[in-house]
Amino acid sequence: MSILAVERVTRRFGGLVAVNDVSLAVEPGMIFTVIGPNGAGKSTLFKVIAGFLAPTSGTVRFAGETISGLKPHIIARKGLVRTFQETTVFKEMTALENVVIGHHMRARSGDLGVLFGLPAARAEEARFRETAAEILTYLGLGHVLHERARNLPHGYLRALGIALALASEPRVLLLDEPFAGMNPEETDQAVRMVRGIRDRGVTVLLVEHDMSAVMRISDRILVLNFGNRIAEGTPAEIQSDPAVIDAYLGQADDMVGL
C-alpha cells in the first residue's frame, strides 16, 4: 500500500485552477519528486498535502487515512512533516533550541509537567537535547549547536531546516525546493543528505526546480505544467518524454538535465 496517495486533487483560487485533477502515489522508502516550470502548481500541491491549504476537490490519504482538511499540526503528528522553501528556521534561537522544538510533538510529558519541571519532563527534556545534538552532528552541524540561527551561513540553515523536521520523527518528509540557490558542490552535499534521510527509513517527497539533482536522486518523478499532470515515471522515462521536453522548451538544456 502506498504511504501517501493524492487522489484527483483540484485546487482553485477564484477563476484560477492551480492544481487540476492531480493524482500520485508514493511507496514507502521512495524518493518521489514533483517538478514543473514556474507556476506549475507544485507549491500549491505541496501545501494541500501538508494541510496548509484545503483541496477544492479530491482527497489526500496518508497510510490509508484521509488527511485532507485536517490542520497542519494534526497531519504533522501523524508523521507527515514538511520543510519550507529557502531557509525557514527559528532565526532568533540557537541551532540546538531549534531542533528541540522539532521534538516537541513527540513529547509525552504534559504542559504542566514541563512548567513545573517534574522529573519525567526533565528527563525527557534532557533526552531531546541529546538526540537534537545527535541529529545536528549527523547533518554536519555539530560544531554550531549553540550558535544563533541567524548567524549561520546559508547552507547550514538549509540543513538546520531539515534537522528540525527530522527531529519530529516523520514517516514522510516533504522537502520544498531543498536545492534552490545552491552551487554544484552544495547540491552534491544536499543530495547525499537527502539520500541519508531516506536510508534512515524516511520516505521523501520533494518539490524541486533543479533538474540535474532531481534526475540523480529520484526514484520516481511527476511533472506538472499549468496545474496539470503531464507525465510520471522514472528519471529515464521523464528525460525522454516528449510532453516534458515540450513544457521545458525554450529553457536552457541544462535546466532540463538533458
Partner 1 sequence: MADQPPRAAGRTLAGFAVFALVLLVVVPLALASQPYWLTVFSNAALLALGSLGVWLTFSIGRINIAQGAFTLVGGYVTAILATRYGISFWVCLPLSAAVAALVGGLVGWPILRLRGVYFSMITLSLTSTAGLLFLNGGALTHGAEGINNIPRPAVLSSNLAFYLASAVLLLLGTAVIWRFAHSRLGYVFRSMRQNEDLAWSLGIDVARYRILAFVVSSAMGGIVGAMFAISQQSIFPSSYTVNDSVTFMLYCFLGGLDYVAGPVFGAFLLVIAFQLLSAIESYQALLYGVFMIGCMLLRPNGLLSLVLAPPGAEQSS
Query: CB-wise, 47 or 229, nearer to partner 1?
Result: 47
Q: Which of 25, 107, 230, 255 binds partner 1 (CB under 8 A)?
A: 107
Residues 212-241 that bind partner 1 (CB under 8 A): none
Indicate whether 157 belongs to the interface with partner 1 (CB under 8 A): no
Indicate whether 65 belongs to the interface with partner 1 (CB under 8 A): no
Indicate whether 115 belongs to the interface with partner 1 (CB under 8 A): yes
Indicate whether 114 belongs to the interface with partner 1 (CB under 8 A): yes
Q: How many residues of this chain bind partner 1 (CB under 8 A)?
A: 45
Instruction: Yes or no: say if 159 and 193 are a contact pair by the CB < 8 Å rule.
Output: yes
Chain Cα centroid distance, residue 95:
19
Binding characters for partner 1, 126-145, by CB under 8 A (x = yes):
x-xxx--x------------
Residues 158-197 that bind partner 1 (CB under 8 A): 164-165, 168
Indicate whether 73 belongs to the interface with partner 1 (CB under 8 A): yes
Instruction: Yes or no: say if 169 and 99 are a contact pair by the CB < 8 Å rule.
Output: no
Chain positions contacting partner 1, by CB under 8 A:
50, 52, 71-73, 76-77, 81-84, 88-94, 96-97, 100-102, 104-105, 107, 111, 114-117, 121, 125-126, 128-130, 133, 146-148, 151, 164-165, 168
